[in-house]
Amino acid sequence: MQKRCPCGQLMTMKLRTVIYSGKVEIDNVPIYSCESCNRSEVYPEVKPDLTGLIGKLGAEPGKQTYLFNEWNEWADLLVEAYQARKSTDATIVKPMIEERINTLLDLYTIAQSVNDEQWIADIHKRLTQLSRCEIQP
Q: Which is nearer to Zn ion, 37 or 84 (CB)?
A: 37
Q: Which of 2, 4, 25, 37 is close enough to bind Zn ion by CB under 5 A? A: 37
Based on the shown chain and the rule CB under 5 A, indicate whether residue 5 belongs to the binding site for Zn ion: yes
How far, in Å, CA of 105 to CA of 91, rounded? Answer: 22
Based on the shown chain and the rule CB under 5 A, indicate whether residue 34 belongs to the binding site for Zn ion: yes
Based on the shown chain and the rule CB under 5 A, indicate whether residue 10 belongs to the binding site for Zn ion: no
Based on the shown chain and the rule CB under 5 A, indicate whether residue 31 belongs to the binding site for Zn ion: no
Measuring CA to CA, how many Å separate 31 from each of 61, 63, 78, 123, 131? Answer: 23, 22, 11, 25, 19
- Judged by CB under 5 A, the number of residues near Zn ion is 7
Nearest residue to 44 (alpha-carbon basis) of 123, 134, 137: 134
Residue type, position 100, single letter: R
How far, in Å, CA of 12 to CA of 103, rounded? Answer: 28
Based on the shown chain and the rule CB under 5 A, indicate whether residue 36 belongs to the binding site for Zn ion: yes
Q: Which residues bind Zn ion (CB under 5 A)?
A: 5, 7, 9, 34, 36-37, 39
